[in-house]
Amino acid sequence: MTALAADPPVTTVTVMCSFRVRTAPTKARITDIHALSTRL
């Protein structure tokens, strides 16, 4: 029962961390694309 009770918070933290890791590269790519477009 304790394992099931501890599951939701752990999964929430994992999702939040993975979401931040996924959004960080996309923001960098957007800035890179913006820099390339301004150079062109």
Encode 17-35 in three state secondary structure.
Answer: HHHHHHHHHHHHHHHHHHH
State the 10-residue block means of pLDDT for the chain, 40 residues long.
Answer: 57 73 78 80
Residue 1's SS3 state is: coil
Give the per-residue pLDDT at 7: 61
Give the per-residue pLDDT at 11: 75
Give the per-residue pLDDT at 1: 44
